[in-house]
Structure 1
Amino acid sequence: MSTQWTAKQIPDLTDKQVVITGGSGGLGLETAKELAAHGASLVLAVRNLEKGHQAAADLLRQYPRSKVEVMHLDLADLQSVHQFSQTYIQRHTSLDILINNAGVMIPPLGRTVQGFELQFGSNHLGHFALTGELLPVLLDTPDSRVITLSSIAARSGYIYFNNLNAQIGYSAMKFYGQSKLANLLFARELQKRLQATGASTISIAAHPGVANTNLISRGSGQKAGKASSFIWSLLSQSAEMGALPTLYAATNPSLKGGEYIGPDGKGSRKGYPHIDRTFDHKYNDSTADKLWKLSEDMTGVYYQFRQPEAIEE
């Protein structure tokens, strides 16, 4: 009996509207390819428009009948997040799947435009603000989904409430783990709040395990050396396999919301997507609630959950 889920099991996505952040390269582009192959209309939300248009052209060459739009989004600038959201809502009346995929990994200490530590500011706060700003159109779309990418780094992650902005010290890996745990806590807390208001929108987290992308160049933009690339290839799985948990989370009809999808192999590093329960101990109600309130205050984006009763009046 095989329970191995592959992209062949993705249902028809014709007329489904999808936004994917960081859809012009790596895991984001692999995810976009499969969504386009199954008929989805895509918006690639990218920082580098040239790279985004190149990715869109490649997708349209492979899937001539697909719809691919490129829009500028810099998650390290809350004004850019606001502008993207406003433009999207002006152009589109629905949003079936929002995939919070983009991320930065272990760069030297840097700051967002608003002065937040770069990894926490981009990976978590940028996506928190984006989801909040797009919430009205998500709630207007029956059975919509928000997929937020975390990482196995969340396992060793900790939220440094006394040092969120690295004002008293910085470790690139610890702050990456913090941002990825924040992604997981956000996804679960969002599901809890959606469920409490009776919304049909659901929130799911996913992680790719250890995928063979150019992230090991530490954000330098240069290709990693041959020796480290070879060792990395032995430890990791392909980008195509790494994209499967995201695709499973975005399209599998059996999911109810609140799940964390990752590879089923040893240590969650490789394999086929399944519900990964090895991170359940990382979820803490009070930490998630505190992070949520802080995130609203830091971004100025306060979520407006509509009660079903109010809609029916």
Structure 2
Amino acid sequence: MAGTVIFTGANSSLGIPAVNRLLEQYPQSTLILTVRDPSKADVNTNRLRDVISQYPKANASIHQLDLADLSSVHKWAQSIAKDIDNNKYPPIRAIICAAYRWNLNRVPQSTVDGLDETLQISHVSHVALILRLIGKFRPDGGRVLLFSSDTHVPGGSVGERYPPGIPEDLNLLAKPIVYEDVFGRGFQNYGNTKLVITCWMYALNRYLQKDADLRNITAVAINPGNLVDSRALQTNTPWWYPYMQTFILRPFLPLHQLRDPTIRTAALAGIDVAELALNPAYAGERGFFTFLKKDQSSAESQDEVKQEALWAKSLEWAKITKDDTALKVVIE
């Protein structure tokens, strides 16, 4: 199954096993793997290099991409589009948007673009990337794979102190209010972002289906599960998160799975991501998935009025105009 696969956050806990699966099962693919820090000083990027080195015939390259800087995202996407036009890379088969950020131990942080970093890195920059490159897919289509989670559902996560929800003023999502409860509101902000991603996925599918040239491209939002060995539990989290991971979650994984079957390892989640992106068994699928099974997202995420509002606001946040994308049907 020839074609380019663009993978953001490729050196993440989930990303590395997913890349290994892609190299192992889909060797004809061209992998463009983006990371924030491609230097040899970065341990996780070196782990990604080690995986690639096990496949000497692989067509895989690592690229630096700062999702916290929209101008860099636009320029990088333009560069990749030009390279596809010049046959440096084959047309796209899949875009996998695995990169994300959360912040559970500090007040909300803004990017150079003035947007909340959780929202921009996890969603807004992916919107810019996807819409810039949507016209560079193979003629027979492909897959956009977005990342949701159980945090987008009210009561869906044990870490929830305040339920996720779309505020009437959507600007509050991009510039959330600073509260005293840094953990609780940070977790809500993360859940809100996953809810936004899920809503946007439905709108994207709707417009792709209306476009005669792009209707064979489908979007899926996956809940990959709660990953007990994810490095995210040690980044921008309170001190007790790593403690919980080391002494409670990992050692007693089978017991936790009795209560919550979505608790699992990053390696298993990575395999599912690779398969959902490229396995022909899932060709043409759209919507929300938990692991590799079609599932129901939250009631609010299925509200078409909110989907449309978030679609329009996401274009504004991502600075996408009618001249930036092949998806002309929805760009005024």
Give me the TM-score of the superposition, normalised by structure 2.
0.78
Deviation at 1:145, TM superposition (A): 1.1
Deviation at 1:75, TM superposition (A): 1.1
Partner of 1:203: 219
Which amino acid is the alignment partner of residue 216 of structure 1? L
- Is 1:230 the counterpart of 2:247 in the alignment? yes
Contact 2:288 2:295 in 1 (8 A): yes
Partner of 1:269: none
Secondary structure in 2 aligned to 1:49?
coil
Once residues 306 and 52 of structure 2 are traced to their aligned partners in structure 1, the CA distance between those partners, rounded to angstroms, is 43
Q: 1:59-90 deviations in whole A, cap 9, x for unaligned?
A: 23221211111111111110111121012112
Once residues 311 and 295 of structure 2 are traced to their aligned partners in structure 1, the CA distance between those partners, rounded to angstroms, is 23
Once residues 237 and 35 of structure 1 are traced to their aligned partners in structure 2, the CA distance between those partners, rounded to angstroms, is 20
Partner of 1:299: 318
Once residues 121 and 307 of structure 2 are traced to their aligned partners in structure 1, the CA distance between those partners, rounded to angstroms, is 18
Bigger CA drift: 16-25 or 104-113? 104-113
Once residues 200 and 22 of structure 2 are traced to their aligned partners in structure 1, the CA distance between those partners, rounded to angstroms, is 24
Contact 1:210 1:237 in 2 (8 A): yes
Partner of 1:103: 100
Aligned match of 2:306 in 283, 287, 290? 287
Contact 2:103 2:237 in 1 (8 A): no
Which amino acid is the alignment partner of residue 290 of structure 1? A
Secondary structure in 1 aligned to 2:280?
coil
Once residues 245 and 145 of structure 2 are traced to their aligned partners in structure 1, the CA distance between those partners, rounded to angstroms, is 31
Secondary structure in 2 aligned to 1:296?
helix
Once residues 205 and 285 of structure 2 are traced to their aligned partners in structure 1, the CA distance between those partners, rounded to angstroms, is 6
Secondary structure in 2 aligned to 1:64?
coil
Deviation at 1:167, TM superposition (A): 4.7
Bigger CA drift: 275-284 or 121-130? 275-284
Structure 2 gaps of 5+ residues are 86-90, 155-163, 180-184, 257-262
- Is 1:150 the counterpart of 2:148 in the alignment? yes
- Is 1:74 the counterpart of 2:66 in the alignment? yes
Q: 1:224-249 deviations in whole A, cap 9, x for unaligned?
A: 64554231222431111122432232
Secondary structure in 2 aligned to 1:26?
coil
Structure 1 gaps of 5+ residues are 1-12, 264-272, 308-313
Secondary structure in 2 aligned to 1:76?
coil
- Is 1:217 the counterpart of 2:234 in the alignment? yes
Which amino acid is the alignment partner of residue 125 of structure 1? V
- Is 1:251 the counterpart of 2:278 in the alignment? yes
Question: After the TM superposition, which residues 65-214 of structure 1 pair with which residues of structure 2 at under 5 Å, given as runs?
Answer: 65-93=57-85, 94-107=91-104, 108=106, 109-138=108-137, 140-156=138-154, 157-162=164-169, 163-170=172-179, 171-198=185-212, 199-212=215-228, 213-214=230-231
Once residues 139 and 50 of structure 2 are traced to their aligned partners in structure 1, the CA distance between those partners, rounded to angstroms, is 29
Aligned match of 1:241 in 246, 254, 268? 268
Partner of 2:161: none
Partner of 1:310: none
Alignment CA distance shift 1:300-1:278 (3 Å): closer
Question: After the TM superposition, which residues 36-47 of structure 1 pair with which residues of structure 2 at under 5 Å, given as runs?
Answer: 36-38=23-25, 39=27, 40-47=29-36
Bigger CA drift: 44-53 or 32-41? 44-53
Partner of 1:262: 290
Alignment CA distance shift 1:60-1:297 (3 Å): closer
Secondary structure in 2 aligned to 1:174?
helix
Deviation at 1:219, TM superposition (A): 2.9
Once residues 154 and 97 of structure 1 are traced to their aligned partners in structure 2, the CA distance between those partners, rounded to angstroms, is 24
Aligned match of 1:34 in 21, 27, 51? 21
Partner of 1:10: none
Once residues 141 and 275 of structure 2 are traced to their aligned partners in structure 1, the CA distance between those partners, rounded to angstroms, is 15
Once residues 280 and 92 of structure 1 are traced to their aligned partners in structure 2, the CA distance between those partners, rounded to angstroms, is 39
Which amino acid is the alignment partner of residue 168 of structure 1? I
Which amino acid is the alignment partner of residue 268 of structure 2? M
Once residues 160 and 32 of structure 1 are traced to their aligned partners in structure 2, the CA distance between those partners, rounded to angstroms, is 36
Which structure has the higher relative contact order (CA within 8 Å, separation 6+)?
A: 2
Secondary structure in 2 aligned to 1:119?
helix
Deviation at 1:174, TM superposition (A): 0.8
Secondary structure in 1 aligned to 2:103?
coil
Identity of aligned residues (%): 22
